[in-house]
A and B are shown apart, each in its own frame.
Chain A
Amino acid sequence: MNGPGLQPPINAGPAWQYSFFNLSVPDLIVVGLMIVVFVLAIAIPFPGGDNDSTH
C-alpha cells in the first residue's frame, strides 16, 4: 500500500493477520492475558467462601 518512502507513524510491529483480522503482538498478549485471568477467576476458590450462606 505505502511506497518505501511513506510509512505510517504508528507502527505496532509484527501482526497476526487473517482476512480482515489484524492483531499486533501487544494485542495478542493482552487477549492471552485476559483469557488467563478469566480462567483463574473461575478456577481459584474465593477465600472464606464457605462460612456464611443466606442461600
Chain B
Amino acid sequence: MPDTMPSYVDSYVYLFGVLTLASFFWIIISGVILVIFGPDWWHVSAVGHFFNSTHFWSVQAFFFFMVLHLWAQFLMAAWRGGRHWTWIGGWMLFLLSILAGFTGYLSQNNFDAQWVGTQGKDAMNSVGVGGFFNLLNFGQMYGLHVFLLPMLILFLIGVHLFLVRKHGVVEPLPLDDGYDKENRRPTGSPVPEGESRP
C-alpha cells in the first residue's frame, strides 16, 4: 500500500470523504444512546431532545459532505485506474444511506413519522414491495434503521476505505492547455493519416 501522500492532495476537496466519515461517527454515537433509552425518553426529556437533535444534525452533515464528496469524485473522474469499485461502492453507500435516512424518519415515532408512513406505503404498494417492506410496521423499520442498515453501511465504508488505501489517490486529470504535445498541434485538430505518433 502507498505510504506517502502525493502533493496534489493538498486541497480541501480531498477532505469531504473524511468529513463524511466524521459525521457518520457522530451518527453512530448519538444513535446508540437513543437506542439505549428509547422513544419515550428522546421525545420528553431535555437530554433526550439533545441527543435526538445531535443525531438529526449529524445526519444533515453526513449527507451534506457525502454529496460534496460525490461531486468532487465525479468531477475528477475518480473511477479511473481500476478504482471503479471505490466509485460503485460509493454509490451503494449513497443509496443505502438514503434508505437509512428514510427508515430513520419512520422511526421517530411521532406524527411526522405517521404521515410519511401512511403516504409512503402507497408508493411501496404501487411498486409491489409493500408486503415485504411495510412502512407502517414500526418494528421492521426500526430494526432496519438501528441494526441492518448501519451494519451494511459500516461494512461498505470499510471496503471503501480499504480500496482507497489500496489504489492510492487518483491522479489529477491531464491539463488541457489547448496544445496537443503528442501530435504537436492544437488539441482536437485532425491528425492526417500516417502522421500520428503512438
Contacts and interface: CB of A to CB of B under 8 A. Distances in A.
Interface of A: 8-10, 30, 33-34, 37-38, 40-42, 44, 46, 48-50, 52-55
Give the secondary structure class of B's interface: helix
Given A9-B112, A41-B12, A41-B15, 19 more contacts: A8-B115, A9-B115, A10-B112, A10-B115, A30-B60, A30-B64, A34-B64, A34-B68, A38-B13, A38-B72, A41-B68, A46-B10, A46-B11, A46-B12, A54-B5, A54-B7, A55-B6, A55-B7, A55-B8
A17 B71 CA distance: 24
Given A9-B112, A37-B68, A38-B71, A44 B12 contact: yes
Interface of B: 4-8, 10-13, 15-16, 60, 64, 67-68, 71-72, 111-112, 115-116
Given A34-B67, A54-B5, A55-B6, A42 B111 contact: no
Contacts, number: 49
A52 B72 CA distance: 24
B68 to A, nearest CB: 5
A42 B13 contact: yes
Contact of A41 (B11, B64, B112, B116): B11
29 contacts: A8-B115, A9-B111, A9-B112, A9-B115, A10-B115, A30-B60, A30-B64, A34-B67, A34-B68, A37-B64, A37-B68, A38-B68, A38-B71, A40-B12, A41-B11, A41-B12, A41-B15, A41-B68, A42-B12, A42-B13, A44-B12, A46-B12, A48-B10, A49-B11, A50-B10, A52-B7, A53-B7, A54-B7, A55-B8
A38 B15 CA distance: 11
Contacts of A9: 111-112, 115
Nearest to A47: B10
B115 A41 contact: no
